[in-house]
């Protein structure tokens, strides 16, 4: 039986490491609208390329140049980049003139940020969209949920991931992680100021991803914030089933001598609250271990974004 689906949007993956391989498997197993046409890597002995070949996916170990030379590339419309921030800049230089849409899973941030439940429909015509970071995908929905109720003067997130799930790309991009995530907390999450911290937890056995979100807001109806946060959790769970609150949303009044008060604008001189949200992200274990929720939420968000782009193109084509 043929594996081709003419009505599906064809995609390719650059990067045959953990993230790229998990993304390939998600497209094969979960998507009714996308078809994986090719995977490109630079290590001919990588498990990702070997697995792709076993799954009858065309491969090349010659990177983006090898990808564009493949016959299968002619029909590819969307390319996922699961490499590194530095490599992505070169990939965009090669692919942008060829008219392909890039979904960037690195923190290069050359294109607009996309967090599916927050602004998934905002950049459907952009040639390059950025998936922020794993910490951003996990926490920015919570900042946005709070900002939907009341202005967020300051948003701070701490992403704790297993050291085992932090590969060479993650470790090489720590600085970009903090800068990109902080920027997206502001631009997508809606916080006036954002800060991001990542912790590589060396615990054995490995712990699953944990995220903490702290937001400083004016005194307001906490019930509305709780309801908004819980509704947003449900929206993320639609594509990341292992995403959940670890406990109820916490509220603490910011006292006059609390150092955090210095982060508030002078206009917010009255009562202020610190809203704290504690999250856990368990992976679906399609390819990665379940504790690697940080990687799973990135590939799941990228898949959801590609499906949105494909649906948008299908609708546009039908109306022409």
Residues marked as binding for NAD(+)?
16-19, 165-173, 294
Rounded CA separation 298/300 (Å): 5
Q: Report the Cα–Cα distance between both ends of the chain, in Å, rounded.
A: 33
Spatial contact of 61 and 269, defined as CB atoms under 8 Å apart = no
Give Cβ neighbours of residue 318 (< 8 Å, ≥ 6 apart). none
Q: Which residues are annotated as a binding site?
A: 16-19, 165-173, 294
Distance in angstroms (rounded) separating the CA atoms of residues 274 and 262: 13
Catalytically annotated residues: 134
Token pair 């056995």 is at which residue?
205
């Amino acid at each position: 039986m043929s594996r081709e689906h003419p009505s599906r949007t064809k995609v390719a993956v650059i990067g045959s490491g953990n993230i790229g391989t998990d993304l390939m498997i998600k497209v094969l197993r979960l998507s009714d609208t996308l078809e994986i046409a090719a995977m490109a890597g630079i290590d001919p002995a990588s498990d990702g390329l070997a697995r792709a070949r076993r799954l009858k996916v065309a491969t090349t170990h010659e990177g983006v140049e090898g990808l564009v030379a493949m016959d299968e590339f002619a029909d590819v419309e969307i390319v996922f980049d699961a490499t590194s921030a530095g490599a992505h800049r070169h990939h965009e230089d090669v692919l942008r003139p060829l008219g392909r849409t890039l979904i960037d899973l690195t923190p290069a941030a050359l294109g607009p940020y996309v967090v599916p439940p927050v602004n998934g429909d905002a950049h459907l015509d952009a040639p390059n969209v950025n998936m922020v970071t794993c910490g951003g995908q996990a926490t920015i929905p919570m900042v946005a949920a709070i900002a939907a109720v009341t202005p967020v003067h300051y948003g701070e997130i701490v992403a704790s991931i297993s050291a085992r799930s932090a590969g060479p790309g993650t470790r090489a991009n720590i600085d970009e992680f903090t800068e990109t995530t902080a920027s997206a907390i502001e631009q997508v999450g809606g916080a006036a100021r954002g800060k991001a911290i990542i912790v590589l937890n060396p615990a054995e056995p490995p712990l699953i991803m944990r995220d903490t979100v702290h937001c400083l807001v004016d005194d307001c109806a906490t019930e509305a914030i709780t309801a908004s946060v819980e509704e947003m959790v449900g929206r993320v769970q639609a594509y990341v089933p292992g995403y959940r609150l670890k406990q109820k949303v916490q509220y603490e009044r910011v006292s006059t001598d609390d150092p955090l008060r210095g982060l508030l604008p002078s206009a917010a001189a009255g009562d202020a609250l610190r809203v704290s949200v504690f999250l856990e992200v368990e992976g679906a274990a399609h390819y990665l271990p379940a504790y690697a929720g940080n990687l799973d939420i990135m590939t799941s968000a990228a898949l959801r974004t590609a499906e949105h782009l494909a649906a948008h193109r299908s609708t546009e084509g039908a109306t022409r």
